[in-house]
Structure 1
């Protein structure tokens, strides 16, 4: 049975997009899956699709145009009724302890996952 929430991957790296998409398809039978190539595209998608019932975002940190931290700053400005239906997971390969701390302290981030994440972690979190 397909997962009920919608998913969006906000990631600039095509290989990471592909791997995350494959893991979501295999682990949760996700379809459709939306892709944004940077934080600005992600914010634009959210403001253009405000009526989703439940949305899970996989957010990269380092991206051109608008990075993950800038995305979170813009996300904060969205209406509460939109933010309440969204869960954000940061996916990153960063080893920078300051970045990881900043992510973990953000009130909108549910968790920080190293990429590529393991299928077992996905299933444990969402099944």
Structure 2
């Protein structure tokens, strides 16, 4: 049975996009997940699809045009009724402890996962609810 939330992967790396989509398909029967190549594309998609809630965002940090931190700043400006059914998970390969701390302290981020993340992490996060 497919997971009921819509997923958007905000990630510029094509390999990471592919791997994340495969994990969503294998672990949660999510197909398709929308792909945005940067935070700006992701924000535009959210604004155009506000009625697609509940929504799970899988967000990278380092991207061109609008990075993950800039995306989170823009997300903060959205109306509360848009944000209330959106959950954000940051996926990153960063080793920068300041970046990790900044992500974990953001009130909109549900969790931080190191890339590449394992299928068990997805199942534990979404199937245990």
- Same-fold status (TM-score > 0.5): yes
**How far apart, in 2, do the equivalents of 1:122 and 1:76 lie?**
25
Match status 1:112 vs 2:116: no
Q: Distance in 2 between matches of 1:79 and 1:32?
A: 27
Between the aligned partners of 2:53 and 2:66, the Cα distance in structure 1 is 25
CA distance in 2, matches of 1:90, 1:122: 12
Gaps of 5+ in 1: none
Alignment of 1:1-127 (within 5 A): 1-127=1-127
Equivalents in 2 of 1:70, 1:125: separation in Å?
Answer: 25
Q: Give the Cα separation in 2 of the matches to 1:32 and 1:23.
A: 12
Q: What's the CA shift for 1:52?
A: 1.4
- Aligned positions, number: 127
TM-score, normalised on structure 2? 0.97
Gaps of 5+ in 2: none
RMSD: 0.5
Name the CA distance, whole Å, in 2 between partners of 1:6 and 1:116: 21
Equivalent position SS for 1:95: coil
- TM-score (normalised: structure 1): 0.99
Secondary structure of the residue aligned to 1:56 is: strand
